[in-house]
Structure 1
Amino acid sequence: MTSSAPSHLHPDRLLPASEPAKSIARELYESVKDLPLICPHGHTDPSWFADNQRFPDPASLFLIPDHYVLRMLRSRGISYDDLGVPRRDGGPVADSRSAWQKFAENYYLFAGTPSKTWIDHSFSLAFGIEDELSGDTASQIYDTIDKRLGDADLLPRALLDSFKVEAIATTEFALDDLPHHQKLATDGLIGQVRTTYRPDDVTDASRPAIAENIKKFGELTGEDVTKWDGLINAHRKRREYFRKFGAVATDHGVPTAMTADLEPSEKQALLDKVLAGRHDAVDAELFRAQMLTEMALLSVEDGMVMQIHAGSRRNTDPLLFGERGPDKGADIPGTTDYVGGLQALLGRCGNEPNLNIIMFVLDETTYARELAPMAGYWSSLQIGPPWWFHDSPQGIRRYLDQVVETAGFYNLAGFNDDTRALLSIPARHDVWRREVCRFLGEWTAEHRLSASTATELAKHLSYDAAKAAYHLP
């Protein structure tokens, strides 16, 4: 291989260009770069850690599960069949090596994207690959990775240890029996690997199978879920079950931040419509809105941290969804009203000392206008890190610039990587830490922060904040 090393490998990447901010940022980064990783929310496959088997091949590791990568390639007219993405009908798709070759030939498309930073970082850290992926280098890089995947230090549990992952949370739905977490518990790994309770399968009435799912929910919990109180008690039981496997948080993927606080008779009437299949889109939104408030009330009871991931219009391509299922890249941000949306929930229980909500946003216009002032007032609210499309160097800069002056540093929930790609985890944390140190270095150089305060904040935002926000021991 003769191509040049990726530019992201420069030791001062993302740090300020000018002195004295550059020297300050470099010193701050040196103090935090080797801290353990706290990964309290993500979408890695729990079977990886339970079974601890080698990853099948390079495409299965870097390409097929990564919707960031897939969506860029599709935007240039590249077929998911050619990228080896499985079809629901079981139809033929490219084999791993052919898919990898197609990916490599089009890797130039990722110039300037965080995906390229993460992949290049992973190549270097895990496989010692310093050369650029391209059509010419595809085969040799594939062989290098494939040969290494069988080594003991590249097995999933070993990777967690080598990455210094102190805690990682996966995300499972309410109807999941958690078989992989049961095995992890038997192996003594609950604590390092935890589950997260995501009840969207029984709270999102826009899902075609919602009535069937709620029925299964009742069978699973022994509750009469045709009654509103029975439905809520079913959630209470499932949350308790998830906590046995390390869950400290719930997660709610909702298109808007709308919440509601209906009267008991109204809640029951709404549930009756959903179970009978007589609900429309307005009813579905109202059901989600009421369930968010109910989940907050349950968090007041049990102390589980509530994560609200709002503002994504998911699976917007019906053809792709029909062919391959959800989470394949056709998700688009939408405008989100947090002040109006969360008013019912906060009016009901926003002042409860046991309520902790982390808000994740795709609508960046709300950072300074809504989220920072809200987190700067409500003790129950914190702002989550830049998420999804904004988990990037520029996204982090925009985030810090818009929220800190109003919300302060200590109303931020630190960082989590929210990833499906295991090897991207240290790369994402490294970008966050570099950008935090860049920000703090510039403020220190401007005499807006003392050196000692900047040092404390660098550690807090890189490590302590996430542990505190998620109540991790």
Structure 2
Amino acid sequence: MPVHGGNDAPFSQPRLHPDRALPADPGIRGIARTILAQTATLPIVSMHGHVDAEMLARDEAFADPSSLLVSPDHYLVRMLVSQSTAPGPVRDSGVRTVADLGAGASRGAVVETDPRAIWRRFCAGWAALRGTPTRYWLEHVLTEVFESPRKPSPDTADALYDHIADQLTRPEFRPRALFERFGIEVLATTDPATSALDAHARLAGEGWGERVIPTFRPDPLLEPARGDWVQQLEALSESADTDAHTYEGYLAALRARRQAFLDAGARATDHGHRSATMAPLDRVDARRLFDAARASEIDADAAAAFTGHMLFQMAEMATEDGLVMQLHPGVMRDHDRGVGERFGHDIGYDVPVAGEFTHALRPALEAFGHHDNFRLIVFTVDETLYSRELAPLAGVYPALRLGAPWWFLDTPDAMRRFREAVGDTAGLRNTSGFVDDTRAFCSIPARHDLSRRIDAGHLARLVAEHRLDLDEAMESAVELAYTLPRESYPAPRRDDVVRPAAAAAEALA
């Protein structure tokens, strides 16, 4: 991090300021320091993310700095691409598309494979990251994890690359050693519903089964408008050893795969569709739409209705098996369809759209919102929904918790706004605690550090305004950083007799 009060001179020694991201007001900052001290060394509970379990199963040395820190980080990639035609160092470095930073799968396009060339382009674009959370996370990673002697710049690129590359050859920088060093207690990956979970099986066989756990992600199977949906049914049939080509077989196969994930230690499912609608269809209508989709005769509206129906089915299955249901709608995937066709998905071209939850969740919350074996964690990238819809919903339904600000909102100011928007109605305990949602393994401690600092600042203001006692604020900080993530994602109760979903309505009568 730049020396405070200095400039961005390329050879200044990086360091992290101990008060980074804490309130600017000196009085509140002092309280925040006291609160932060309660959480700074707590273990990390990382229950929602996209780290590859295979990486941890193999536990091999990382190949190079670029494939570890640059290419998989779509926050970084998208920002440098956004500057690719502006006069300046990014354009001069040769960045034109995501492929120039090693991102994306080649679909007839040339993807850069020289890690040093990718690194030089990243260093040339360092100034484009000013003021972003990506800059904060990377400064933390470079300084705390790799003890980098220089900040990124065109002049320091090669020396910095060599420094990190040398460290990556050492045993203490292999994935599991870093896992331990980061203080990660448990890490949940996100896995396709049809995954064989081989990496998780190998990890479990080596004693890591309770520390690295899978998460069931069935999105492609619930969206019949996808061009590959019939192929997805084939994969589901094979992985579940159940014919999924009838509606009843499809439901049975999904249940079988949920059970396979449970057996592998899963605690949650994960759903990322355009809409949050969870509305059941009549069984005859659901079967009719399923058959129409198999025949490629389903229109967009009918496909959306089927997806909403299947999300309701996922909620009902959750009451049976206890898997926590995570829902994060409201994003248009692959906004540039040409880029998606050339380079694949998840490379930074996903853009938020306006969301709605009050009507969308009503059928599921009426059915299961008071069920003692149903837990729903809802995330959004539409801040306007926090105080108007989500906080009031979480403030009354026992099954619902609000997920932390994520993706485009996991920034210092957006996290502050979240606490201010939901606190009055939902309080603190109706939130999930922090989830990092990262593919960038080394950024996990940086992201949790930032969240703990923002929460310390928020709680410090409540203390300074005499709305909380200091001991309550310190206790709440520990809950937000550690206790609530564990509570929000409990291990399913395998030994209990689960009540039928209909019993929830009877309990309210």
User: Is the 1:81–1:94 Cα contact (8 Å) retained in structure 2?
Assistant: no
Checking the alignment, whether the CA contact within 8 Å between 1:251 and 1:306 is kept in structure 2 is yes
Give the counterpart of 2:21 among 14, 36, 58.
Answer: 14
**Partner-residue secondary structure (3-state), 2:377:** strand
Residue number among 459, 463, 466 corresponding to 1:447 in the alignment = 466
In structure 2, the residue matched to 1:4 is 12
Q: What secondary structure sits across from 2:172 in the alignment?
A: helix
Structure 2 residue matching 1:403: 3-state secondary structure: helix
Q: Which residue of 2 aligns with 1:331?
A: 350
3-state SS of the aligned residue for 1:38? strand
Tell me, yes or no, if structure 1 residue 397 matches structure 2 residue 416: yes
Gaps of 5+ in 2: 1-8, 85-94, 493-509
3-state DSSP class of the match of 2:328?
strand
CA distance in 2 between counterparts of 1:462 and 1:166 reads: 12
Does residue 25 (structure 1) correspond to residue 40 (structure 2)? The answer is: no
Q: Work out whether residues 195 and 239 of structure 2, in 8 Å CA contact, stay in contact via their aligned partners in 1.
A: no
Equivalence map 1:353-372=2 (5 Å):
353-372=372-391
8 Å Cα contact 1:375-1:383 kept in structure 2: yes
Runs of 4 or more, structure 1, over 4 Å off, are: none
Aligned to 1:462: 481
Distance 1:472 1:144, change over 3 A: farther
Structure 2 counterpart of 1:145, from 164, 172, 180: 164
Q: Given the alignment of the two structures, is residue 207 of structure 1 paired with residue 226 of structure 2, yes or no?
A: yes
- Among candidates 425, 428, 433, match of residue 414 of structure 1: 433
Alignment match, 2:154: 135
Q: After the TM superposition, which residues 33-52 of structure 1 pair with which residues of structure 2 at under 5 Å, given as runs?
A: 33-52=40-59
Q: How far does residue 81 in structure 1 lie from its aligned partner after superposition?
A: 3.3
* Structure 2 residue 61 is matched with structure 1 residue 54: yes
Could you tell me which runs of 5 or more consecutive residues in structure 1 were left unpaired when the two chains were aligned. Answer: none
| 1:84 has 2:102 as partner | yes
Alignment of 1:232 onto 2:239: no
Q: Deviations 1:213-252 (Å, cap 9, x if unpaired)?
A: 1133123323342332322221111111011221000000
Tell me what 1:65 maps to: 72
How far did 1:169 drift? 0.6
Q: 1:373 aligned to 2:392?
A: yes
Whether 1:217 aligns to 2:236 is: yes
Contact conserved, 1:104 with 1:134, CA < 8 A, in 2?
yes
- 8 Å Cα contact 1:261-1:344 kept in structure 2: yes
Instruction: Determine the C-alpha separation between the residues in 1 that align with 2:467 and 2:450.
Output: 23
| Structure 2 residue matching 1:32: 3-state secondary structure | coil
Per-residue Cα deviation, 1:168-212 (whole angstroms, up to 9, x for no partner): 011111111111111111111111100000011211223211112
CA distance in 2, matches of 1:344, 1:166: 36
Question: What is the deviation of 1:30?
Answer: 1.1
**CA deviation vs aligned residue, 1:399-427 (integer Å, no higher than 9, x gap):** 00100110011100001100000010000
TM-score by length of 2: 0.90
- CA offset at residue 6 of structure 1? 5.0
CA separation in 2, counterparts of 1:449 and 1:402?
17
Distance 1:209 1:67, change over 3 A: same
Q: Is the 8 A contact 1:211 1:275 kept in 2?
A: yes
Q: How does 1:299-318 map to 2 (within 5 A)?
A: 299-318=318-337
Question: Is the contact made by 2:272 and 2:329 (CA closer than 8 Å) also made in structure 1?
Answer: yes
Q: Conserved in 1, the CA contact under 8 Å of 2:62 and 2:168?
A: yes
The amino acid of 1:261's aligned partner reads: P
**Structure 1 residues 286 and 41: CA distance shift in structure 2, 3 A:** same
Sort the Cα spacing of 1:101 and 1:158 in 2 relative to 1 into closer, same or farther, 3 A. Answer: same
| 8 A contact 2:225–2:293 mirrored in 1 | no
Do the aligned partners of residues 225 and 84 (structure 1) sit closer, same or farther apart at CA in structure 2, a change above 3 Å counting?
closer
Larger displacement relative to structure 2 (437-446 or 255-264)? 255-264
- Is the 8 Å Cα contact of residues 21 and 438 (structure 1) preserved in structure 2? yes
CA separation in 2, counterparts of 1:472 and 1:140? 46
Deviates more, 1:175-184 or 1:373-382: 175-184
CA contact (8 A) 1:307 1:357 kept: yes
SS in 2 for 1:340: coil
Q: Does 1:347 align with 2:366?
A: yes
Deviates more, 1:150-159 or 1:77-86: 77-86
Query: Which one of the candidate residues 425, 428, 431 is aligned to 2:444?
Result: 425
**Residues 42-76 of structure 1 deviation map (CA, whole Å, 9 limit, x = unaligned):** 00111110000111111101111111111111111
Question: In structure 2, what residue type is equivalent to 1:424?
Answer: S
The Cα of 1:349 is off from its aligned counterpart by 2.2
Distance 1:472 1:429, change over 3 A: farther
Equivalent residue number for residue 292 of structure 1: 311
Q: 1:85-124 maps to which residues of 2 (within 5 A)?
A: 85=103, 86-89=105-108, 91=110, 93-124=112-143
1:333-366 Cα deviation digits (max 9, x unpaired): 0111101111122223222111100001011100
TM-score (norm 1): 0.97
> What is the CA–CA distance in structure 1 between the aligned matches of 2:258 and 2:239, rounded to whole Å?
13
Secondary structure of the 1:3 match is coil
What SS does structure 2 have at the residue aligned with 1:424?
Answer: helix
Aligned with 1:383 (options 402, 422, 434): 402
Assess, with a 3 A threshold, how the Cα gap between structure 1 residues 317 and 143 changes in structure 2: closer, same or farther: same
Q: 1:164 aligns with which of 168, 175, 183?
A: 183
Equivalent AA in structure 1 for residue 42 of structure 2: L
Q: Distance in 2 between matches of 1:2 and 1:374?
A: 50
Matched-pair contact (CA < 8 Å) for 1:261–1:348: no
Structure-2 separation of matches of 1:135 and 1:330? 27
The 3 A distance-change label for structure 1 pair 235 and 415 is: same
Letter in 1 for 2:333: R
Q: Is the 8 A contact 1:84 1:94 kept in 2?
A: yes
| Segment of structure 1 superposing worse, 449-458 or 89-98 | 89-98
Give the letter for the 2:67 counterpart.
S
1:249 equivalent in alignment to 2:249: no
RMSD of equivalent CA atoms? 1.5
One-letter code aligned to 2:442: L
